[in-house]
């Protein structure tokens, strides 16, 4: 684990909170943002913060390949979106924003385009808000989470 990850994960964990078993959450019971649907073999209720951090590093941070992005605020935005809405969704959103081919994988071209994009973080926040509002409209059963999602975007900063 590196220093950038450790800074970002603290923001993400603040947004994710502790144990929740909300009936409208399609992920089922969740702890530190780790959900039963994605990790059916885990005892979610008794998951430790340290275990969650290791999962985020292994299953989100490393596969997202964010290390070449210079602006840590941009890294945090993409990482947080990846945790909340899925890695490919987060990366494709960034790629579309900067005009890179939206394949859901960060490589040298996507990294360069993000690094060259003035105002990336604000533009990405705008797109996150739009994504969540659209999702809540398309799936009314998820509208209960909209205020929390929007607060998450506003509070996503170092």
Q: Which of 150, 152, 155 is nearest to 83 (CA)?
A: 152
Residue-range definition of the domain harbouring residue 106:
3-154
pLDDT at position 17 is 87
Quick check: 85 and 14 in contact, CB under 8 A?
no
Quick check: 44 and 29 in contact, CB under 8 A?
yes
Give this prediction's pTM. 0.95
Read off the pLDDT of residues 30-53 as tens digits, 9 standing for 90 and up.
Answer: 999 999 999 999 999 999 999 999
Domain of residue 72, CATH code: 1.20.141.10
The total domain count for the chain is 1
Cα angle: 28, vertex 148, 2; to 5 degrees: 80
β partners of residue 30: 20, 35
Report, as an integer, the average pLDDT of 55-74.
Answer: 98
């Amino acid at each position: 684990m590196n220093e950038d990850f450790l800074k970002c994960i603290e923001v993400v964990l603040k947004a994710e909170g502790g144990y929740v078993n909300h009936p409208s959450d399609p992920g089922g019971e969740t702890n530190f943002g780790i959900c039963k649907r994605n990790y059916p073999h885990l005892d979610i209720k008794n998951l430790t913060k340290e275990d969650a951090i290791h999962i985020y590093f292994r299953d989100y941070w490393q596969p997202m390949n964010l290390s070449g992005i210079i602006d840590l605020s941009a890294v945090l935005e993409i990482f947080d979106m990846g945790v909340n809405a899925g890695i490919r969704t987060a990366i494709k959103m960034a790629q579309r924003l900067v005009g890179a081919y939206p394949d859901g994988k960060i490589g040298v071209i996507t990294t360069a385009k993000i690094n060259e994009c003035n105002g990336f973080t604000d533009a990405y926040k705008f797109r996150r808000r739009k994504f969540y509002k659209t999702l809540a409209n398309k799936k009314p059963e998820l509208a209960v989470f909209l205020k929390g999602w929007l607060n998450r975007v506003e509070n996503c900063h170092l």
